[in-house]
A and B are shown apart, each in its own frame.
Chain A
Amino acid sequence: MARYSVWSLARNALSYHRDWPRQWRSPELGSAYDVVIVGGGGHGLATAYYLAKEHGVTNVAVLEKGWLGGGNTGRNTTIVRSNYLWDESAAIYELALKLWEGLSRDLNYNVMLSQRGVLNLAHSLGDVRAGRRRAEANRLNGVDSEWLDTAGVARVCPILNTSTSLRYPVMGSTWQPRGGTARHDAVAWGYARAADARGVDIIQNCEVTGIRRDSGGAVAGVETTRGLIGTKKVALAAAGHTSVLAAMADVRLPIQSHPLQALVSEPIKPVLDQVVMSGAIHVYVSQSDKGELVIGAGIDSYNSYAQRGSFHVLEHQMASIVELFPIFARLRMMRTWAGIVDTCPDASPIVSKTPVPGLYINGGWGTGGFKSTPGSGVVFAHTIAKDAPHPINAPFSLDRFTTGALIDEHGAAAVAH
């Protein structure tokens, strides 16, 4: 892999950038691989990278039905944080965040991690209780998280409306300074380039149409739009289509796919330095390095594979944003889009072996997929290489829905007295 540096940039500028090598090859599809990863997004590419880097497994193909990073990797609101409630969640997201912090250097690719800090606002006494509980649990789990009262929130983010006249006033917030955002496309490209350099074959425009199994029921290969590939290990990392792919091997999942919409404003000069999230009124916002406000909301209620949602959801989200930030009222929405999120009943992912030998699943991340990318890649690669889960993803097994050991990250429900 040709290293990127100031010097290589200067050298290439002299030749008008004509001599840059491809960032990843466009290889011929092989007939057999040790591991076939389905899904060329952040998770699939990270898994391939860590399989090669940590486990020396390089005879790997990553199959992408469209273009790299064209699914949820390129459609999320780029938020990175690890302040989850339960120990199991904190462990996997904190692993990810630690990896994020070294990722640009590791990949020799600037993924533009921007640790601007994340506020999760509380708007009711119940929110306050749940927020403090989470911040305290985070602290003991080694996650940088603290509780801010309303005045503290105003100090961190002075443009936020912290007046008591708000319909649901800001009553405090958790604050994770190490949280922030990253450049989503660069994550896919950076991992692709690094995995490719270690010998992984990245195959775009190759859709998986079936999973072959041997007489014992174990994985024997995958059928694709570009032919049959022999393999004993198939790893699914195709957010938005997890159920569809699992069904090819007769594996049933507790996953439902929903639209999740997001939008950006026109670019403006820097005005918001933090990531601000409000679960209670369903909105989150940050400002990108391009100057756009990046705004997300809750998922649409119905099942969908359409990558589009309903307009009233966006309207509600904008009503919330102008309440929290009255100075944003005249800004303008420039572009909207949607992804398909695979949600689990406990709002936690499945990173697990399956009842089918040789079939591994990484999915159901809901809205947590992007931020978990490096951590998910590490533990999923381990699970595939060792045919056994890493201690960190062991709790995220498919089996938990049978035993009842759910990891319920919906957060404490609204107080109901």
Chain B
Amino acid sequence: MLLIECPWCGPREEPEFHYGGQAHVARPADPAALSDAEWAEYVFMRDNTKGPFAERWCHSAGCRRWFNVLRDTVSHRVLAVYRMGEAPPEGPR
């Protein structure tokens, strides 16, 4: 069971959180200008990184805030936690 440090509440057990998949996938500003393939890229295509992965979690049974986590998908180690709108510490996205 993961131990996730909510940037607002501190370390909490995984069942308090809701997973939100890859972070830093911005919704296109003008979807109408996109081709079907470009739109599919936004809606469906995602990185599926083996190793450090920037992802989103929501503290749904706590403060209900969404935030970003840099987590290694092999070791499950949380490498960094940062708030929405902040850039990942460094390295992979």
Contact = CB atoms under 8 A, between A and B. Distances in A.
Q: Are A and B part of the same complex?
A: yes
Interface of A: 241, 243-244, 252-257, 301-306, 308, 310-312, 342, 345, 401-403
12 contacts: A244-B48, A252-B41, A254-B44, A256-B48, A303-B21, A304-B74, A304-B76, A305-B50, A305-B74, A306-B74, A308-B76, A401-B40
A304 B73 contact: yes
Nearest to A403: B36
B2 interface: yes
A342 B48 CA distance: 10
The 10 A-B pairs of least Cβ separation, nearest first, read A243-B48, A254-B44, A301-B19, A402-B40, A310-B1, A401-B44, A305-B50, A252-B45, A401-B40, A402-B36
A254 B73 contact: no
B36 A302 contact: no
Interface of B: 1-2, 14-15, 18-19, 21, 36-37, 39-41, 43-50, 53, 55, 71, 73-76
Q: Determine the main DSSP class of A at the interface with B.
A: loop
Given A254-B46, A302-B55, A401-B45, A312 B1 contact: yes
A257 B74 contact: no
A254 B21 contact: no
A308 B1 CA distance: 10
A252 B36 CA distance: 15
Give the interface centre of A257, A303, A304, A403 by most chain B CB atoms within 10 Å.
Answer: A303
A303 B45 contact: no
Given A301-B18, A303-B53, 17 more contacts: A252-B45, A254-B44, A254-B45, A254-B46, A255-B48, A256-B48, A302-B55, A303-B21, A303-B48, A303-B73, A304-B73, A310-B2, A312-B14, A312-B15, A401-B43, A401-B44, A401-B45
A403 B2 CA distance: 37
Give the interface centre of B1, B21, B41, B48 by most chain A CB atoms within 10 Å.
Answer: B48
Contacts of B53: 303
Nearest to A308: B76
A306 B75 contact: yes
B28 to A, nearest CB: 15
B74 to A, nearest CB: 5
Nearest to B35: A402
A311 B76 CA distance: 14
A244 B47 CA distance: 9
A345 B47 CA distance: 13
Contact of A256 (B1, B18, B46, B71): B46
A356 to B, nearest CB: 15
A369 to B, nearest CB: 16
B21 to A, nearest CB: 7
B73 A306 contact: yes
A255 B15 CA distance: 24
B50 A241 contact: yes
Contact of A244 (B15, B40, B50, B71): B50
Nearest to A406: B44
B39 to A, nearest CB: 8
A256 B41 contact: no
B55 A303 contact: yes
B55 A257 contact: no
Nearest to B36: A402
A303 B47 CA distance: 10
Contacts of B18: 301
A123 to B, nearest CB: 22
A311 B44 contact: no
Contacts of B39: 402
B2 to A, nearest CB: 7
Contacts of B15: 312
B1 A306 contact: no
Contacts of B40: 254, 401-402
A241 B41 CA distance: 20
Contacts of A312: 1, 14-15
